[in-house]
Amino acid sequence: MADELRAGDNPEREAMAGKRAVCAAGENLEPLEKNEDSCHDGNYCDKPGTLLQSFVPEGKTLFPEVFQTSQLLFYERFQVYQDYILADCKASEVREFTAEFLEKVLEPCGWRAVWHTNVFEVLVEVTDVDFSALKAVVKLAEPYTCDSEVSTFTSECMKELLDLKECRLPLQELWVVFDDSGVFDQTALAIEHVRFFYQNIWRSWDEEEEDDYDYFVRCVEPRLRLHYDILEDRVPSGLIVDYHNLLSQCEEKYREFLNLRSSLSTCKSDSEQENISMVEGLKLYSEIEQLKQKLKLIENPLLRYVFGYQKNSSIQAKGTHPNGQKVTHVVSSSMKTGLLWSLLRDKFCEESCKEEMEIQFHSDPLSAINACYEGDTVIVCPGHYVVHGTFSIADSIELEVIHHGKTTLENCVLQCETTGVTIRTSAEFLMKDSDLYGAKGAGIEIYPGSQCSLIDNVIHHCKEGILIKDFLDEHYDIPRISMVNNMIHNNEGYGVVLVKPIIFSDLQENNQDETEENKALKLKTSVETDTTVKVDLEELIQCTTGKVELHARADLSEQAEGNYEIVNEIVIASTQKGQMRKKRLSELGITQADDNLMSQEMFVAIMGNQFKWNGKGSFGTFLF
């Protein structure tokens, strides 16, 4: 049963925050979200019956079904640890906080479980719970059910073993037997959270760490992210091996240190043996601290991207071509005559090619990048490409995507060591269920006249999350932007930045004749943004477009505020562009100017996005 139970530890792909949140909450805790999705995933709600699934390990038909709780998503675990179990506790308070949580949600008795060890599995019944010790008081269930490779585990032997343990078993060794009434859902989830924490997050030396920091922020979050990054193949295999080796070394050294410290207590003071042991102890302590620092380097997402990935990347720089020439690599699954002519005209014409150029064709981006030498260029033509695994692009290699056409990225992990993703003018770009991080500039850069759809993505640890280029110039078309259910977090600057010029000379000349519409827009740019101002802006936006999807209310949450602010600022910029356009048309003698602010379909939707821990906030403007 051991193998089958462990097989359940591989979770599904990381979900976007805000979509679902599994919460092992009791009657004294409010549910995180009361919607169909959250109930489906095991939130506390008033509907009768279980909300969890069950499974029977293959080949273990003697045992009853147990709750399937191991396939939880990243943000499901993240939110429970942050909001319900650990909160702002210190390292020394972890056990106390965990016990308080279990006391609120765990059924104290009346449920059965499979006691799972590396040697055997046996069915037990829980009669009581010692919350402070994180243990359950159990007895053998009837009929006696046991499975082991050793046939000597009779009921009498098992009773003797339980007596030696005073019938108290660690909660993380118990798998709750399935019950479709829903009564034991929270018990199963709570034990799963405790089990996962002590198997994957907690380190034996954590309790001795300094208590002047938030344990969740310092240790739990980075280790949890690393665990899921490894499961999702986001970390190079070499770095994973390094991390596990460092972890094993640190655990071994720490055990030696504890044994040595224990032996010192039995030594006579000022003895030669004590002096030798103290020197050895100081040496061990220094080695342990060095190993811990290396572990933290890998656990920290940003430091891992900067230091760890390049060292362990499977693709190394090849240097220059043997003949000294530079090669252009064209990626195209198929090519029409129009695209071929466009390439010849724009990329390989006599003006742009001062000397003879070698061109190589590839069927996918990975093979093209693998074939690159220093200074080469990769041109990705419109098409559908499937790339498995990870690859890195050296700074000396130029990657360019054909501007015209549609590019779709789905279920991708983009680890940007320099630039992020740029959507040029006339390009159409869709990114869905993907993870982008590490860009030294903006993670997503949107040019005027482009179409950009971002759905259910995570954009983090970049200089800026998303940058919308200036589109106020008369030669630029307004971009079409759709941002739905994205998580934008831990970026150095803003989550979303709108670039625009400091002075609109055309607009200033026209500001003398101020309308009520302009007054409402000025309210948005003032420092005080009270509820009345937000309502006025909402009315303004709704009356100027039928395509804007707003979910702003008087009592806006922090996340809804970010979406609302982006929509308002973009509408204001679009209004300014419209006024300048109207003035220019009037100068040409055209009096019937288009007053519809959204006539060029500025965006489809900006909603459901979450902004967390961005250095300067959710949204800002860059003036130039």
Which of 138, 144, 131 has its CA nearest to residue 111? 138
DSSP states of 446-478 as a string? E-TT-EEEEES-EEESSSEEEEE----STTPPP
> Mean pLDDT across the stretch 503-514?
44
As a whole number of angstroms, the distance between CA 432 and CA 434 comes to 5
**pLDDT tens per residue across span 587-604:** 655 544 344 433 344 456
**pLDDT tens per residue across span 152-198:** 788 898 999 999 999 999 999 999 999 988 899 999 999 999 999 99
**Which contiguous run of DSSP H or E holds residue 612?**
strand 610-612
Is the dihedral angle over the CA atoms 560, 562, 568, 574 positive or is it negative? negative
Structure token digits, residue 22:
């599994």
**What pLDDT is attached to residue 263?**
81
| Own/partner long-range contacts of 80-85 (Cβ < 8 Å, ≥24 apart) | 80/21, 80/22, 80/23, 80/24, 80/193, 81/193, 81/197, 81/216, 81/220, 81/224, 82/216, 82/220, 82/221, 83/23, 83/32, 84/23, 84/24, 84/25, 84/29, 85/193, 85/197
> Mean pLDDT across the stretch 552-578?
61
More confident residue, 474 or 46: 474
Q: Is the pLDDT of residue 494 over 70?
A: yes
Q: Is the pLDDT of residue 544 over 90?
A: no
Residue 571 CB-half CA count within 13 A: 34
Pairing of strands 111-116, 174-176: antiparallel
Q: Is the pLDDT of residue 384 over 90?
A: no
What does pLDDT average to over the chain?
A: 75
As a whole number of angstroms, the distance between CA 22 and CA 41 comes to 6
Whether a cis peptide bond, with omega within 30° of 0, leads into 143 is yes
> Mean pLDDT across the stretch 280-306?
85
In the block, residue with structure tokens 């982008």: 436
Q: Is the pLDDT of residue 579 over 80?
A: no
As a whole number of angstroms, the distance between CA 398 and CA 384 comes to 21
Cβ contacts of residue 435 below 8 Å, gap of 6+?
A: 14, 232, 234, 412, 413, 414, 457, 458, 460
Range of lowest pLDDT (142-156, 214-228, 307-321, 322-336): 307-321
